[in-house]
Structure formats: structure tokens, C-alpha cells
Amino acid sequence: MTDTNWFGKMPLILVFFYLLLSALWAYVSNTMLLHYVRDVELFSGIDTLMDWAFIVVTSLFLYKLLSRFILMVTDREQQYQTLADSGQALVWLAGTDQLCHYFNKTWLKFTGRSLEQEKGNGWAEGVHPDDLQRCLDIYSRSFEKREKFSMDYRLRRADGEYRWLQDDGSPCYDSSGEFVGYIGFCLDVTEGKELELELARNNEYMSAILDCLSDGVVACDKDGTLSLFNRSTREFHGLPEQPLPPDQWADYYDIFEKDGITRMKTENIPLFRALQGQEVNNQEIVVVSKGATPLTLLATGRQLVSNCGEKLGAVVSLHDVTMVKALEEHIRQAQKLESIGTLAGGVAHDFNNILTVIIGAAALLELNVADDPEQMELVAQISHSAERATKLTQSLLAFSRKQAINKQPEDVGSVVTTMQDFFGRIIGEDILLTTYLPDEALMVTIDRGQIEQVLMNLAINARDAMPHGGVLDIVVSPVENDGTQLDLEGCRYGHYALITVSDTGEGIDPETAKRIFEPFFTTKLLGKGTGLGLSMAYGIIRQHDGVIQVESTQGEGATFKIYLPLRDQSEKPVSVLSLKQLPGGTETILLVEDDPEVLVMNKGLLERAGYVVLSALDGAEALDLFRRGSDAIALVVLDVVMPGMNGKDVYGKLKEYRNNVKVLFVSGYTADVLNTKGVVQSGNNFISKPLNPQVFLRRVRALIDG
């Protein structure tokens, strides 16, 4: 039995001892009297005397025991008070009425007040006003529920300074289990509290720094629970300001592999890998926030380890490379087009030489059989097929953006007609293409190849908007800007050609329509578009002093309108193979061409027009012929790209012989190749293959006469 249990059972022990002693005394005294005393009167007298003796002895004994007990109680209380007063803790006691009736000397010394001042609710006067109500609420609620509590508050010290106390209170019960009040122990935790506040300020400071970073930062503890993510991360993921438990992150975003399609497994997620001790270096992931565009991020992470080697968690930084990936995609697309363009340029050169022969032969044949209707029909078929082949070459160069950049008078309807077959190949058989063209020619000054590129981009977008088929309408019509056309607001007044491209696809929402011409803006999936097609279309049309607009209702298709200013309607393009007469002359012409068939055909065409033709297959032969008859040669028709010595080099040598030599450059190569050869395709000194006989002969005549 412990000392505490013995002390609590002292009254019961005293009663038991008294009863035992009384019984023993009575038994012993009666037994002895009955054995030795026979006289009744003597027996009664002795018995009475012994009773009094018992009372005196037991009273003295009980007195000694009670005195000892009282002394023990007094000592115990003194010990408790000494213990309470000698400790560092501030101790208080409260009764069942919630009023405090005891404070130890440490408390009183701390506050500098007397016990009478602190009793009851007097102690509350020293609590900081900002903490008092919270403190009283916790105190009252704990009394009602008979439960322990722990709270911190600021208490005014004797010198007037407020110090932080950690107050731990516990309910007290007597030996019978009845609630008798509360006891509380308070410790001065000011230094710890200040350290805690300093840590909080440091955390706030670090959070402010992290929030200023453009890269996202995510950290988790050793159990994988997210403990930190900065503002950039929240913006990447579309998360709210407050932290989210891991089980709620999936409600806000999804993580995919770099293809943007394959959902990433947990063991491949950068933060998980870093937590397992793996080094994560620029791992590419795609984050798709709910209701937002996909973001491509580079994740770099490490495991967090203490100085003792204990695993603390992991941290990952996230760098947004969405724009970089778009640029890379644009570069890849440009490289693809460059490859196609290179192939197209080589094919175009050979194909244009072939077409030059076919077109020239058809022109000469047309003159020979002009009086034979049956033969003329065959010639017309050859001419028509050659014209289609020429348009196909132009369309291919427009697709690869390798056509020569040169603004010329063009009929808008002719441009659309030229592209019509090419559109059919792009959009597929499940989309119906319809075109509506005006009866009259709408003449504009344009770079035909660039306008074809714009129309091609619009056709591709329309196809993508109609994955299950539909209708694509292209309408060409004249309009006048008299100040009432909203689409032409800010443009000069006058007449315009309007190209309307309409589809029956998914349509465009208003927010997307506002940004649709922005560079790199796209609603297509990752890797499905660069976001440059419509921005390039916008730039091309603006360079032509025109306007491009979009009208759409979501779910009801989209309509793009292109306005191009009209020029003098009297200027009409020369139709291919429209050969009525051959303008000619009697001058001497030096023809330089590395393709034998083209050389023969062009020589025959010039001779048929009356010219005297000297022909050469390369630059060296041409220079030799020119040196021998330079005075008689009125014009040199010079192929640009030739083996050995190209056209520019030959031209330089010719000028050494005669500075005022007239030259007409001819080539079937594309614009970029000619630029590298130093030949400018402008003015009247250049003509591209395939040659239109009438245009060729008119250009020859104009240069000789000029």
C-alpha cells in the first residue's frame, strides 16, 4: 500500500484498531476476573475500575494517534505548498464554482499582486485584452465538459511586460470520485512563442519569395502530404489559394506524359519519384487543369534530407515551357515545309521545263492546225491539261510557301478556281465544297501564292471543325466601303473583293473568337497545331491592305471574310495559252538553256516569230557566241541555274563585253533558290517557267524595244 493510500484510509484504520482493542480488553479483563475474583462486590468494583482504566488508556492512545494524524496532514499540506511554491510553474486552483481560490507564490511573484487580488476572477485583469475573451471561453467550456485544456495567452508581469504563458488545466476529483475543481500549471513560453512567431514570419517571407517566382514550386512531407505550393503552381493547376489535401488534387487537374494523351502513372509523377530518392531532371509532363488549356512543364526535383540523414520529404520545381514547345513545333513544321519545299522546288524545276516544252509545242501546233477543227480540239485538250498541270505546280509551291513573292494584278475568281481541285484533296470526300463566283472579273493586286496560302489555311481549319463531314462554301463577291460596312471600319473608301469562307462545323465561342488571330493561340490538342495559321493569314491580308474577320456562333459553324481592295477593272490577267498572234521581230537573240528539249522548243518559238536565234547549252558556249557576234545580238535569254557557270556569272561576263547588254532571265526554280543565286525576280528582266508563249514573246519584244 502506498503512502497516499494509507493516508487516505487513516480514519478507517483508527476505528478498526479501537474496536479490536476494546474487544481484546474486555475479553482479557473478564477472563482474569472470573478466574481470580469470587466476591461479587469485589468483582463489580474491579470491573468498573478496569473500564475507567480502559477509557483513560484508549483516550491517551487515540489522542496520540490523532495528534500524529493532524501533524501528518499539516506536514503534507506544507509539503504540497512548498512544492508548488518552489517550482518554476505558476500554479492555480479553482473550485466547482469556476472561481480561483489559490495561486502559488511563483504566480504572485510573477504578477506582483496579492492572493486576495488574484482570487476569484481577479487574475483576469492581468491577461492581455486581445487574449482575454478566448481564454475565458476555453476556461468555461472545459469546466462544463470536465476535460483537460491547454491554451496560451499573455499575462502582465510585475514590471508591466506581457509574457506568453502555456496554461495546462486538469479536473480534480476526491477519493469518492466527486469533482472538486481544477488545477492548472502555467509555464513562461515567451522565448518559444517568439521563436514560433519568427518562424512564422520567416515562412511568410519565404512564401512571398516563392510566390514571386515564375516557376512553380511544390513540396511534400515524408508521408507525401503536400505541405507547400507557390502561386505559380496554383496558377498552373488552377488551384485555390488555400492548400489542398492530396486526395482533392485530382478534382482540379490531370497529369499526362509529354505526349499529352497518356495519363501518367503514380510512380512516374516527379514528386513521387523525388520522394523515393530519385533525382528528377527536366522531366517533361503535361498538366491539364479543369477548364484550362494544357501546359507543358519541365519538372526538376530532389528528396529533402536533414543533417542527420532523416528523410523530410521532397520538393519539385516546375518550369512552364508551353510557349517553347509551341515554337519548337513551329520550327518542326517549318522544317517539314522546308523539306517539302526543297522537294517541290526540284520537282517544279524539272516539271516546269517539261511544261514549257508541252505548252510551246501546243502553241506552235495550234498555229499549224488552225484550219483543222478536229486537230484544234486535240490541241485544246493538250493546252487544258498543261494549264491544269501548271496550276497544280503553283498550288504545291503555295503549300510549301516557296512561290516567288511578287504582287501582280489577279482576278480573285481565278485564284479560287485554281485552288478548287487542291481544296478537294485537302478537305476529304465527306465535306461538300461549293464555290460561287461573280460573272465579272474582280481585279486585285496580290501575291497570288500568299493568298492561296491563306485560303488553304482556312480550308484546313474548316476541315478540322467538321470531323464528321459538312459543307464548305467559298463565295466571291464585290462590295463597296461607303462607311457603313462595320468590317471595313478604318479602311479607305472604295470597292473591295469579298471572299467568304463558311463551314457548318462546331463553331467558335466568343472568347476564342477574340483571340483567334493571335500568334500561337490554338484550341487544338498538343502537337495538332502551332497556332500560327490564322495569325499568318491575318498578317498576309493586312500586307495586302485588306481585312480578315470571323463570325461564328458555337455549334452553328464559322464564317471568315476576306476583303481585298479592287484595282482598275480594265487590267485583266493574260490567260494561259490564249494564243491569237505571236508578236515577233527580225533581231538576233542569244538563247542559253541547259535543257536540250526546252532549248529546241524556245528556239523554234522565237524563230517562228521571225527572230534569228543563236543557241547555247551552257555558259561557256554562250560567252563564246556572244564574243563573236555581240554587236548583232539584241537580247540574251538566259537560264538562271545551269551547271558550271550560272546565269548571274554569265551575265557578269557579258557586261564585260558590252555594258548595255539586255538580258531576260528565265528559270523554273522557286523563289528561295533564285535569291541564293543573286537574281531579283522583279521588273521586266525575269520570267518564270513554264513559259506562256504569248507572255514570253511580249516580254522579249518589250525588252528589245526598251
Contacts of 374 (CB under 8 A, 6+ apart): none
Q: How long, in residues, is the chain?
A: 706
Report the CATH number that the domain containing residue 411 is assigned in CATH.
3.30.565.10
Residues 438 and 521 placed together within one structural domain of the fold: yes
Residue 551 phi/psi, 5-degree rounding, is -130, 135
Average pLDDT estimate for 289-296: 74
Residue 40 lies in a domain: yes
Q: Assess contact for 156 and 128: CB atoms under 8 A.
A: yes
Residues 608 and 669 placed together within one structural domain of the fold: yes
Residue 473 lies in a domain: yes
Residues 42 and 99 placed together within one structural domain of the fold: no
pLDDT band at 656 (very low <50, low <70, confident <90, very high): confident
Residues 443 and 506 placed together within one structural domain of the fold: yes
The per-residue pLDDT of the chain, averaged, comes to 77
Residues 515 and 495 placed together within one structural domain of the fold: yes
Total domains, the chain: 5
Which of 503, 536, 565 lies at the terminal end of a domain, its last residue?
565
Residues 136 and 13 placed together within one structural domain of the fold: no
Distance from C-alpha of 470 to C-alpha of 63, rounded to nearest angstrom: 116
- In the chain, pLDDT over 70 holds for what percent of residues? 71
Tell me the per-residue pLDDT of 562-590, one tens digit each, with 9 for 90 and over: 999 887 654 444 444 344 456 788 899 99
Residues 44 and 126 placed together within one structural domain of the fold: no
Task: Give me the pLDDT at residue 47, please.
Answer: 65
Residues 274 and 372 placed together within one structural domain of the fold: no
Residues 138 and 8 placed together within one structural domain of the fold: no
Residue 143 lies in a domain: yes
Average pLDDT estimate for 426-444: 86
Question: What residue type is 170 in one-letter code?
Answer: S
Q: Assess contact for 551 and 558: CB atoms under 8 A.
A: yes
More confident residue, 422 or 314: 314
Task: Find the domain containing 677 and state its range.
Answer: 327-385+581-706
Residues 218 and 144 placed together within one structural domain of the fold: no
pLDDT band at 548 (very low <50, low <70, confident <90, very high): confident
Residues 540 and 505 placed together within one structural domain of the fold: yes
Report the CATH number that the domain containing residue 620 is assigned in CATH.
3.40.50.2300
Which of 56-60, 132-136, 227-231 shows the lowest per-residue confidence on average (mean pLDDT)? 56-60
Q: Does residue 354 carry a pLDDT above 50?
A: yes
Task: Give me the pLDDT at residue 80, please.
Answer: 53
Which of 300-304, 313-317, 640-644, 679-683 shows the lowest per-residue confidence on average (mean pLDDT)? 679-683
Residue 629 lies in a domain: yes
Residue 171 lies in a domain: yes
Which of 565, 599, 623 lies at the terminal end of a domain, its last residue?
565
Tell me the per-residue pLDDT of 143-186, one tens digit each, with 9 for 90 and over: 888 889 989 999 998 888 999 998 998 898 877 788 888 988 88
Residue 252 lies in a domain: yes
Tell me the per-residue pLDDT of 397-426, one tens digit each, with 9 for 90 and over: 554 545 545 577 888 888 888 888 777 777
DSSP string, 248-305: HHTTTEEEE-TTSSSBPPGGGSHHHHHHTT--EEEEEEEEEETTS--EEEEEEEEEEE
Residues 431 and 509 placed together within one structural domain of the fold: yes
Residue 576 lies in a domain: no
Report the CATH number that the domain containing residue 121 is assigned in CATH.
3.30.450.20
DSSP string, 322-390: HHHHHHHHHHHHHHHHHHHHHHHHHHHHHHHHHHHHHHHHHHHHHHHTTT-HHHHHHHHHHHHHHHHHH
Which of 50, 84, 118 lies at the terminal end of a domain, its last residue?
84
**pTM assigned to the model:** 0.44
Residue 571 lies in a domain: no
